[in-house]
Amino acid sequence: MADEPEVPLTEGERQALAALKQDVEPSPETGAAIVERLRARGAFRRPPRRWRTGLAAAAALVLAFLAGLLASRTGPEAPPGRGDAYLLLLLGGEEGPDPAAQVAEYAGWARALASEGKVLGGEKLAPEGVRLDAGVPAMALPVRPREDLGGFFIVTAGSAAEAEEIARSCPHLRYGGSIVIRRIEPT
């Protein structure tokens, strides 16, 4: 972004920035308003629509492929009488101050649910990967917080609402990530 022109600040904006407390997080509404004002001033450039559409389609294909791959393996089906199997895709999020403690927190969460027969499996994924498109040489996937697939869990739940309740208890949400919930269809 070094080639982008710097947006000059007014004296009032400089004074307002200097007066801000450094240890206070803005509300989501304030953060959204700031982003919109910066976008209006040209601080952000969106990639061409063609690129965004292709990237979204590639991400959807990767997720569909992973879901299909997991669904076709023996084992992710929910045990009889326990409901359906659901894939929880962990997207984005940030690494906490102690990565080892964060991994232990996720593992503890998964073990607790596994003891109840709710977690069937899960793994953390490496941050780098390869993107394949038809007719195009393989290219490394960019690392983009808030979008990248960081891991997954396969859980069993009696309903979509129960799967959502399980997902809401996942530590991933506390680290700023999001979770996509997909029911695994037996094949």
- Please determine, for residue 37, whether its predicted confidence score (pLDDT) is greater than 70: yes
Number of domain units in the chain: 1
Residue 11 lies in a domain: no
Domain that residue 133 falls in: 49-183
Residue 5 lies in a domain: no
Residue 156 lies in a domain: yes
Structure-model confidence comparison of residues 127 and 180, the more confident one: 180
Structure-model confidence comparison of residues 115 and 66, the more confident one: 115
Residue 111 lies in a domain: yes
CA distance 160 to 163: 5
Q: For residue range 68-125, what is the model confidence (pLDDT) as tens digits? A: 555 444 445 555 556 899 999 988 888 888 888 888 899 999 999 999 989 888 888 8
Residue 8 lies in a domain: no
Residue 94 lies in a domain: yes
**Residue 9: pLDDT band with limits 50, 70, 90:** confident
- CATH code of the domain covering residue 167: 3.30.70.1060
Structure-model confidence comparison of residues 147 and 73, the more confident one: 147
Residue 31 lies in a domain: no
Residue 161 lies in a domain: yes
